[in-house]
């Protein structure tokens, strides 16, 4: 069996609040394998976003092991963490966060060029991804001319621009109506399966959570598998 694209072991995170310590993560352990969708559920304030930020190398844990695509991220300096995050991790949020002054294609080209990819190659990758998410005919449209579902599909394509191994998604359908959410989730799932990625997806939508491979619930600072 291949190595997990994400492996967390004993992750702890404590915040100081009004003179006292609040332990949000109390030894979280989980793994996400290639081609696997793992749902992360739990009430607001349970620590889901904190866990996603740590898994995505946006925030440091106080203790624990973090392995991303076989690399021991907990031991990396800030520069190497940033490089690993750009190369190996894609992010999808509840709000698409597309740059409004750029077209759908340009929103996918830009992160590649920031990573050092030549424009022609980045444009070819953008065309490929827009085709995969069913928006090849919308490439030149700016976000304001796209529907909410189309905007989120562009955001998913952008998350895949640099060929990551892991997708971190925080309520990726939370801002969409039920029908559109179903369409966007189907695109998301097919891309994860088809490209052999691992995906950790925080959601309040229990129907979508049950359609993933596993459901992990954040409870009292640890993860419980359903």
Domain map (residue ranges) of the chain: 6-225
Q: 79-88, 98-107, 174-183: which has the highest mean pLDDT?
A: 98-107
Looking at domain 6-225, which of 2.40.160.20, 1.10.10.410, 3.90.1150.10, 3.40.50.300 is its CATH number?
Answer: 3.40.50.300
Give tens-digit pLDDT for 122-146.
999 999 999 988 889 999 999 999 9
Residue of 163, 128, 2 lying closest to 67 (CA atoms): 2
Q: What is the CA radius of gyration of the chain?
A: 17
Model-wide pTM > 0.85: yes
Q: What CA–CA distance (Å, rounded) separates 148 from 180?
A: 8
Residue of 53, 74, 88 lying closest to 9 (CA atoms): 74
What pLDDT does residue 214 have? 94
Cβ 20 vs Cβ 138: under 8 Å: no
Give tens-digit pLDDT for 153-196.
899 999 999 999 999 998 888 778 888 888 888 888 888 898 89
Q: What is the DSSP string of 12-37?
A: EEEEEETTEEEEEEEEEEEEE-TT-E
Q: What CA–CA distance (Å, rounded) separates 88 from 91?
A: 10
């Amino acid at each position: 069996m291949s190595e997990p694209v994400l492996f967390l072991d004993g992750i702890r995170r404590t915040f100081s609040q009004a003179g006292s310590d609040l332990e949000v993560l109390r030894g979280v352990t989980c793994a996400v394998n290639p081609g696997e969708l793992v749902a992360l559920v739990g009430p607001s304030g349970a620590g889901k976003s904190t866990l996603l930020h740590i898994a995505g190398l946006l925030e440091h844990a106080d203790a624990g092991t973090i392995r991303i695509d076989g690399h021991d991220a907990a031991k990396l300096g800030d520069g190497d963490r940033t490089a690993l995050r750009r190369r190996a991790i894609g992010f999808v949020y509840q709000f698409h966060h597309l740059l409004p002054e750029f077209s759908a294609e340009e929103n996918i080209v830009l992160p590649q060029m920031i990573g050092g990819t030549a424009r022609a190659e980045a444009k070819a990758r953008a065309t490929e991804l827009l085709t995969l998410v069913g928006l090849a005919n919308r490439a030149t449209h700016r976000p304001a001319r796209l529907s909410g579902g189309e905007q989120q599909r562009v955001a998913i394509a952008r998350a895949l621009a640099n060929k990551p191994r892991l997708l971190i998604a925080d309520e990726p359908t939370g801002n969409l109506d039920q029908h559109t959410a179903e369409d966007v989730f189907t695109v998301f799932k097919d891309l994860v399966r088809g490209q052999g990625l691992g995906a950790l997806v925080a959601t309040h939508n229990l129907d979508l959570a049950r359609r993933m491979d596993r459901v992990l619930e954040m409870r009292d600072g640890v993860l419980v598998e359903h």
